[in-house]
Amino acid sequence: MAHKTFRVLPGFGLTMGFTLCYLSAIVLIPFAGLVLRTLELSWTDFWHLATTDRSLAAYRLTFGASLVAAVANAVFGTLLAWVLVRYEFPGRRFIDAMVDFPFALPTAVAGLTLANLFAANGWLGKYLVPLGIKGAFTPLGVVIALTFVGLPFVVRTLQPVLQNLEREVEEAAATLGAGRMRTFVAVIAPSLLPAVLTGFALAFARAIGEYGSIVFISGNLPFKTEIAPYLIVMRLEEYDYTGAIALAVVLLVFSFLLLGLINLLEHWSSRFQH
């Protein structure tokens, strides 16, 4: 008599059916609706709507600020993850918990708080503005907001890798005469690189679609501080649905490309670790 494996959850057919229904309702049906509406446009009309001067300016700010914020998070997020994993100090648990604060805080509240901090009369702005550093209602404010919301992705991606990184290898390198810099470059950096790239890609993808934390600190000035997600909202408020769809499809294509890149990086990271 064949041994029957006991499973806590129901069979494959039921669970897969529920999964497909849930995925269809949340992702596939809205995505299909967007694609079908896009197919109603000719290529010429779509290109014209997606590449207006205002749209191109919004793309430049969205992708440029997202790239700068992701690079900053890759650098400082790596340092923060290293400190949290490798050192014990008073307040370590509190700082570790604060890393997740951007996840818990509503993005609109974060944007309003940052705008008040970096405004000319804000706690930080009254010292920075006289120095020529304007953090509110400028592209710099957009970068600040995107850095704030993207930091947890880098830190949380790196922490498990650092925890599993064997210190014996570093000690062996030191025993063989390698200095700190050579140990970092030859031993630590190659192990961390896949996770850093994954965290960078996640932070970049998160920043591209960010809206709530930017609308207050950016000022939403066309051709200057207006991001693509905000322009989509403006098109909807003007009942220009075709224009909003064209912009949304452009961001959707970039999001899919980033999703594929993230999956490749995670696959590479898993192969590298094994």
pLDDT tens across 36-58, in order? 888 888 889 999 999 999 999 99
Instruction: Please report the pLDDT score of residue 171 as a whole number.
Output: 66
- Going 223 to 227 to 231 to 232, the CA torsion angle's sign is positive
For residue 247, what is the enclosing H or E element? Answer: helix 241-273
Fold of the CATH domain 51-273: MetI-like fold (1.10.3720)
Report pTM: 0.85
Residue 126 near residue 118 (C-beta atoms within 8 A)? no
pLDDT of res. 231: 94
| Orientation of helix 53-86 relative to helix 228-237, angle to 10° | 130
Cβ–Cβ < 8 Å for 123, 117: yes
Closest residue by Cα to residue 214 from 226, 198, 196, 202: 226
Residue 170 to residue 176: CA distance in whole angstroms: 10
Predicted confidence (pLDDT) at residue 272 exceeds the cutoff of 90: no
pLDDT digits (tens, 9 = 90+) for 63-85: 999 999 999 999 999 999 999 99
196-211 pLDDT per residue, tens: 988 998 899 899 989 9
- Are 168 and 246 in contact, with CB atoms under 8 Å apart? no
Average pLDDT, the chain: 85
Q: How far apart are CA 35 and CA 77, in angstroms?
A: 36
pLDDT greater at residue 62 or residue 162 = 62
Predicted confidence band at 93 (pLDDT cuts at 50, 70, 90)?
very high
Nearest to 262 by CA among 202, 206, 194, 193: 202
pLDDT at residue 273 greater than cutoff 60? no
Higher pLDDT, residue 264 or 243: 243
Measured distance CA(52)–CA(125) in Å, rounded: 34
User: Where residue 271 falls among pLDDT bands split at 50, 70, 90?
Assistant: low
Could you give the CA distance from residue 150 to residue 170 in angstroms, rounded to a whole number?
Answer: 30
For 107-125, what is each residue's pLDDT tens digit? 889 999 999 999 989 899 9
Phi-psi region at 199: left, alpha or beta (left = phi > 0; alpha = psi -120 to 50): alpha
Dump pLDDT digits (tens) for 123-178: 999 999 999 899 899 999 999 999 999 999 999 999 998 888 777 666 666 676 66
**pLDDT at residue 2 tops 60:** no
- Tokens standing for 264? 């490749």
Percent of the chain scoring above 70 in pLDDT: 86
